[in-house]
Chains A and B, each alone.
Chain A
């Protein structure tokens, strides 16, 4: 409460650019807290830089090896995946969102406010049917054939 009050004072006085003695004090507090926070964040880095050993003893010059199990890595980590995985994940995402929308429907399906006989069921069926068209579309496009797609660049 007191903080809010001081903050409002600060904002108001910045607006009207009236540097009275009280607002100068507030600015001093803010600057002090800012510097204190900065010191807590940056200070440990400086202390560690000054006090820690700067290099490590080597016997095989492998300090910079990324893999930490001791074995030499075989090949780079940036290997190529088939495009098929991406399309498959995309289809999963479509139905993931579908289910996300069906959860609130399922929660409210039996409540008295919405229990309207066959109409609710038909609406849900229409919703699912429209989203299922995406499946039919992808099927037609051949997403589910597990072929490696080859794109030729002209």
Chain B
């Protein structure tokens, strides 16, 4: 479990930081890596039907050194754990982590007494910013997660929040 505070820069000006935050929030570059079936939904979110590029987050980078967001999309097996840790270390600041899907949140359906192969949740070793529930979450849910992250970075939500249709009488 790492710390959630971003290491500081030499010069800190409140207005400049706000402008930088807007720039960062509107061009979040996720990392191209998927661990399980959630990655399929992540690909769908990046493709034309759901079109993550409307929110500036479609530039999936193949190198961690160019990334802002690590989307942990899928089950983290214990074999894969050192690789995920290394990738997180190689990302430059500022960096954020999205735990996508139940496996990345808590281990999901693979969590049972006596299991030996699965890391039970990305937040056991990563500072997770946004949790997206679902098994797997739909691409809209990932887009909502990106918007939540933008709200966390800038303090403002880009679009009005859409109310759930179920809660209406």
Contact = CB atoms under 8 A, between A and B. Distances in A.
Given A52-B9, A68-B64, A70-B83, A59 B126 contact: yes
Question: What band does the interface of chain B fall in when counting residues whose beta carbon is under 8 Å from A?
Answer: 20 to 34
Interface string B50-90: 00000000000001110000000000000000111111111
B165 interface: no
B2 interface: yes
Interface residues of A, number: 21
Given A49-B10, A51-B9, A51-B16, A56 B84 contact: no
Contact of B94 (A53, A58, A65): A53
Contact of A56 (B33, B63, B86, B95): B95
B interface secondary structure, majority: loop
Contacts, number: 78
Given A59-B2, A60-B85, A68-B64, A53 B90 contact: no
B3 interface: yes
A71 interface: yes
B92 A70 contact: no
A51 B24 CA distance: 13
6 contacts: A50-B9, A55-B7, A62-B86, A65-B89, A68-B90, A70-B64
Interface of A: 49-63, 65, 68-72
Enumerate the 3 nearest inter-chain pairs by beta-carbon distance, A residue then B residue, closest first: A70-B83, A53-B93, A60-B85
Interface of B: 2-3, 6-11, 16, 20, 33, 63-65, 82-95, 125-127
